[in-house]
Every structure is written in structure tokens, then in C-alpha cells.
Chain A
């Protein structure tokens, strides 16, 4: 079941949705949330969508089954999506609008404003009244919700807890005494499980960093990446780590560079505008062969663009941004689990190849919360950079077969070198001769020449000889996975490839995949078809492009329709 709550920002939309999500997760259900924020601090339309199921959830879904609207604006935003069989819960009598009677849409009026304002004398409890009504209508777990309310308002005092519980009960009571349930939507009970955690994409990146051994994080606040910093600020000090808010993104990457040079695993988190500013130092880090991680939580661009929305449009910048020829690695997360495991992978690759690694996430993933299996830390492998062990004259940039040279850290006797952005010799002395620039450029690129072979195999599913093969990256994979299931049910012959490494392009996997299908489709959230272009140039595979660039993620239905259209 998918339930959507809409209203004015600051009206409790997000906290109502959050409580439903948390309560469902506690009660053992799988949960995946999706939200949009207004770019304004107060006011503007805010939306929180929650999908609950007893089974693993793949995406945010196509549309909602139940829509709870707090005001007329939220109704206007959603009324075209109210299909026959869907449910509308709204504020009436006493609200600011009357919905049109739409054929087949089930309407439950609940006087949220009136109950909170008149009956309870507490206008700010409107969302709790709504929560109570929703709980009663769709059988959300009462006990979990009450526990959450108690925990949430404990700090504000007994009377606040009391008022919220009364509002919850008032909403539920109104439903019991005034409404007759005619829809078929219920939250089914499930078995609570110990081994689950619930977190957002940004929190998962923070947790991944912590587990990977990151002990230095510097950032400059930017939506939608800031929550990584917020989370790490609270937790890094517990592991003797440091979080700094720098004066700008150039400085934050600068600090990360200093920290990793000093031997401490370090990371920054930003969004497109910040990554723009970092590009010069990104080249420096690659030239000086310093391991580091940049999480780029993409938003709609260019310029300030759509700060609170999602796009997959920083790929060119991440993969190609910067002057001169230098290697870097770009990974893309599609799920909350990816945010966690790929952050660790990003650190491992950075350390192994002494190279900057960019992890791409996006606005939708950043704030989406999802229940995932609690990671088993004993199974996670952590890689550290190859250390210089002393002896002989130290050559920081010794030309080796793999391209990787052992690295010393300051404080190490005999390990002295100058980390430099100038072209240099093996001992890091400036050296501009043609043979050195060639030799050293080749050395730096050699480090990741076999990256694809050294990485886990790219995941693939579906029919061996497909009429169509879909290659998707990042968030779009969620909608593709769900669409694939439905296509299989309908007997369509479709195959899908899900790369996590997006640059260097996993050429072998893509060519192998392309050779097993008749046509290739690449759906992505950008105008230019950025991955499709990289795939064409690097793998020589010309795909049919399917681009959305409105700021919202693909729905499974959009993918499904495209598949049907292309196969025909």
C-alpha cells in the first residue's frame, strides 16, 4: 500500500509521514518513503509518501492508493492522480476546500482543523488528528504510534505528550463513530524483526563512512547533502573523528586533501554546485595520488536549479570535470543499501588505488528512508593504502607495474616527500620533460586500467535472449527492477543490467550484455543522456535513450510503458 500525505511545509506533513513509517517499521513491516520539500523554509507544498509491505520494496511505486491532504493546495496538486479505487482523506467540514466528486474515488472527510482547534483547543495538533484518523482507517499499529508520540514529545513535557495522544485518539474516534470503511486498504500485521535498521540515504552514507574508517569530514552546507554532515557531526566524535564546516567547498575538499595526506581517511559531501567548485582540487588529488571520497548528492541543475529535487545530471562533471588528463572513479547508489555499502567501497577503492572516488547519490535517495537488513560488520572488508615500509631511498611515485606506489605519511622517518600538483619524477621532484609527463600520466591511469576486472561483477537479470536490454544507473534502477518484475509476469522478454561503477564505464559488462539483446535502452534523469553518451563513446553501444528531466524519479509504470513501446 502506498499512502501520500500532502500539505503546507511546516504543517506537520513530514512528521506525520515519518511517524507512520517508523510505526510500521517497528511493527515488522518493510517500509520505503519518498518525499518532496518546498525550497522555502516555511510554506509551499510538502509531500511525504510511504510505501509499506510485508515484502521487500523495490521503489517508491507508481502512484498512491491513499492520499491524505491537509489543505486545498495539496488537493489541487494531487487531484489528477486520484484514480478510481483510490482513497482521499481530507479536512472537512471546516477545511479550506471541498473536493470534486470523482467517479470511483472513495472520500473520507475528517474535520482535522475543527477537532484540533475547537474540540481540543490546540490548532497545532491538526496533524495528530489526521494521524489518528489514518491509523484507524488503515489499521496502522496503535501501540507503536503511541510509543513514538511519547518518545518524540517527552522532552517537551507530560502535558504535550498528553495533548498529542488525545489528538490521536480524537482522530481515531471520529472515524469509528462517523465513517464507514468502504475501501480495501489495510496495513497487514507482520513479525517484528531484530535485525533491521531504518535510515535515510544520507544517514547510510554517514554510517558507511564511519564503518569504512573515515575519521575526517569537511563540508559546506548544501541541499540535499547536508544531512550527511549533520549525522556525522553527531557520531564522528565518538570514534575520535572530526567534522568541520569549512568556508566553502574549495576549502572543504582542501581540508580533506590535507587530512588524507596526513594519513587519515577523509571525505566531503556536497551537491552539484559544490562539486563544480571542487574540480581544481580534484585534479590535484588525482595528480598527487591522494585517496579521498566525495559524496555528490545530485539535485536539479544547472546553477541553483531545483535544489530540493532529483536529477542524474552531474555524471559528466563527476566523470570528466577538470582540466588535463587524470583518473578518478565514479560510483552511483540506487538504494539505501547502496548508500551504505558503496560508501565503504568508495573508500576501499580510493585507498587501494590512491585516487579520488566520487559517490553519486541524489535528492530522492538522500531523504528517502527505508528499512534494511542490519549490516553484518564482521563480513565487511576494509582496505587501507599500501604503506611505505622504510628502507632505501624513498620514491613516493615509484613507477610500478600496477601503477600504485607505496605511500608514507608525515611523521614517518625516511618517508619525506612533497605531494605536488606539478608533473614530477619518482621522488616527487618537479619534472616537465615529455618522457616524464607521458610516463607519469600512464602510471596514474594504469592504476585503474583493470578496475572492471577487479570489481565485483555487474548485476544482471532477465531473459538471456531479450528483445530488449535496459541499462540503468543510480536511482533509476529502483523503477527498472520493479518494472522488470511486472514484465516477467506479462511474459515480455526483457533483460536488465545494473552497474554500480559508472566511470570508468564497465565496458566489458556492457558489451557482453548488449550482445545478448536485440536493442538497448538507457533511461536516466537528465536531458543530455549522460550515461548513454558515455556508454556510446566508451563501449561503442548506441542505446535508445529515455530521459526525464522534471526533477522527479522514474515510476515503474513509466519504464514499463517505454518497454512495451520499444519492444513493439
Chain B
């Protein structure tokens, strides 16, 4: 997966220009991703970016890696299939908060607990961007949107807490304009063995007039100082809950990292135990079916 002549961040950008609105938070994520690819010598042809549907899910077109732009909410299972079928490929999933916490919310727990070797980056703008401004699973209580003109009655999900409880082995949060931190976290995640989740708060200036850059900037707090032991899951969870998005300070940085066997490793072991071969004698398997 390493290549000799290092590619620059711009070498990872395809000739398709992003279609995002001016000022969209997703630009910051794209910049951080290509920077992290460059810093980690990621070979584009050995990498697949998988997305669902949404503004954020357009990202694969803008990068020179292989890609899949699939159905709303279904990127994770598709990415899982790629990784399990061809473990040598590097798989990165990108998408929105609607994609991964609402319509695709049933897939996240399973990719996490199975410890599928891939990186999921959610561009969390607390709104449905592509469909022009409906309430999202991370919209704050009472928020007025096109489908909740009298205020949202829902309690929002806490993405970091969810990922921790689901069993993700790498959990982090960042902010779109903090490309240094985001690049750093993506780099760490690319080198992590197992399921890595980064929730990047990525404002949508067009449809979300509440969760703006200006709103977040003074509230962001890097947790490295108060949470140096990244293996402490209880502390990570407690920070995720007490410093949640609507409690004043918004925590960013690495919450949790553990090393445990990945699904690919376990599959590999099953193959070895069964003397798996690429040149099987199928006749021998058929003999089992003799009466």
C-alpha cells in the first residue's frame, strides 16, 4: 500500500470540482482527507471511498481513488463487503448524519462491533443538506426546520457516545475548519487496525443557521489534556455524555482507541483452520454428498 514517490494533497484531487455551496464545512473535510492521504502515502488505486446519498456523499467524485456512490444509508454494508472480499484494499466511508445515524443507523452498530477494518468519516451538519433543510438526528431540541416549523420534538443522538457503546475500536470527533486536527485524526485512523469512526462537525451555512462556524468556534475544546489515557472507555463515554453538543463545551480529539482482533483477521483464521485454498478439489467437497 506504500508508494515510493509521495503524492501531494492536490494529486489526490480529481478533475471533478466539488459541487458544494461556498462556505460548506465539507470542503474542510475533503482538504483534511487528501492531506492525510498524502502524509500517509496512500496509494489511490488501492483505496476505495464509499458513500451513500447527501451533499457529503458526493465526496468520492472529487478524489482520485476508486469510489462508490451508492444508496442513502447503505455505504457501510457495501464497504464491509469490499473489505471482507479483498482485505488488501483500504476502505474509507464518508457521508452525512442523516446517512449514518438515521436511514443507515441500523448498520453502524454492526460494522463497529464486528470491528470491520475501515474508517468512517461522518460530516455532521445537524441538518439534511441535499434535501434542503429538514431536521436531522443530530439537530438540537426545538430546532425549527422545514419539517419542524414549530420546533423539533426530538432528542438528538450523541454520535460519539453511540460509537463507543456500539464497540468502535477508534472513536474521535473533530471540527471541519480545524484541518490540522482532522488530518491528524484521519492519519491515526488510517493506521488503526479495526473500525475507526470520526465525527466531523461540518457546518451547513445554507440550511442550518444555528450550528454555524461562529457558534462552534468558542465552544470547541480539545480533550487531550483532560483525557490522556485513550484506552479509558468509561472516561471517554463520560466525556461524550457530559460535554455533549448542547452542554456548553464541545469536545474534540481522540476519545478512544483499543486494539482487538478485526473481522478480517477472524475470517483469515477460519480459512486457515479449514485449510482454505485457491485451487480446491471441488470433487472432494462433492464426495460429502454421496448417500
Q: Which residues of A contact B (CB under 8 A)?
A: 22, 25-26, 31, 196-199, 203, 207, 210-211, 215-216, 218, 235, 237-242, 244, 246-248, 250-252, 254-264, 266, 280-281, 284, 288, 371, 374-375, 377, 410-422, 429-430
Contact = CB atoms under 8 A, between A and B. Distances in A.
A35 B280 CA distance: 33
B102 to A, nearest CB: 14
A247 B290 CA distance: 35
A536 B278 CA distance: 47
Given A254-B74, A416-B65, A411 B86 contact: yes
Given A416-B65, A422-B69, A216 B85 contact: yes
B77 A197 contact: no
Interface in B47-77: 47-48, 50, 53, 60-61, 64-71, 74, 76-77
Interface in B221-277: 267, 270-271, 273-277
Interface stretch (B28-36, B151-159, B169-177, B281-289): B281-289
A410 B89 contact: yes
Contacts of A420: 68-69
B45 A410 contact: yes
A25 B291 CA distance: 6
A179 to B, nearest CB: 29
B80 interface: yes
Interface residue tally of chain B, by bracket?
Answer: 35 or more
Given A22-B291, A417-B66, A259 B106 contact: no
B185 interface: no
B46 interface: yes
Contact of A266 (B53, B69, B85, B290): B85
Interface SS of chain A: helix, strand, loop or mixed?
mixed
10 contacts: A22-B291, A237-B270, A258-B84, A261-B81, A410-B82, A410-B89, A411-B89, A414-B45, A417-B67, A418-B68
Contact of B86 (A210, A263, A413): A263
B79 interface: yes
Interface of B: 16, 44-48, 50, 53, 60-61, 64-71, 74, 76-86, 88-89, 106-107, 109-110, 267, 270-271, 273-278, 280, 282-283, 285-286, 289-291
A257 B70 contact: yes
B24 to A, nearest CB: 17
A48 to B, nearest CB: 16
Nearest to A376: B283
A65 B106 CA distance: 52
A246 B111 CA distance: 10
B86 A264 contact: yes
Given A242-B267, A257-B78, A419 B289 contact: no
Given A247-B110, A251-B77, A410-B89, A377 B282 contact: yes
Contacts of A415: 45, 66
Contacts, number: 185
Contacts of A22: 291
A277 B50 CA distance: 21
A82 B69 CA distance: 61
A31 B275 CA distance: 33
Given A410-B89, A416-B65, A417-B66, A250 B77 contact: yes
Contacts of A266: 81, 85
Contacts of A284: 70-71, 74
Nearest to A199: B289
A240 B272 CA distance: 8
A377 B84 CA distance: 28
Nearest to B113: A247
A93 to B, nearest CB: 36
A417 B81 CA distance: 18
A418 to B, nearest CB: 4
A31 B69 CA distance: 50
B107 A251 contact: yes
Contact of B45 (A264, A416, A421): A416
B285 A280 contact: no
B77 A259 contact: no
Nearest to A430: B61
B44, B45, B273: most-surrounded residue (chain A CB, <10 A) = B45
Contacts of A280: 71, 74
A210 B45 CA distance: 29
Given A235-B285, A377-B282, A246 B88 contact: no
B290 A258 contact: no
A250 to B, nearest CB: 6
B74 A281 contact: yes
A250 B86 CA distance: 20
Given A375-B286, A429-B16, A429-B61, A411 B74 contact: no
Contact of A258 (B16, B85, B267): B85
A411 B276 contact: no
Given A207-B286, A239-B278, A246-B77, A216 B65 contact: no
Nearest to A240: B276
Contacts of A207: 285-286, 289
A413 B85 CA distance: 19
A421 B291 contact: no
A197 B286 contact: yes
B280 A238 contact: yes
A281 B47 CA distance: 22
B77, B278, B290: most-surrounded residue (chain A CB, <10 A) = B77
Given A242-B84, A255-B80, A419 B68 contact: yes
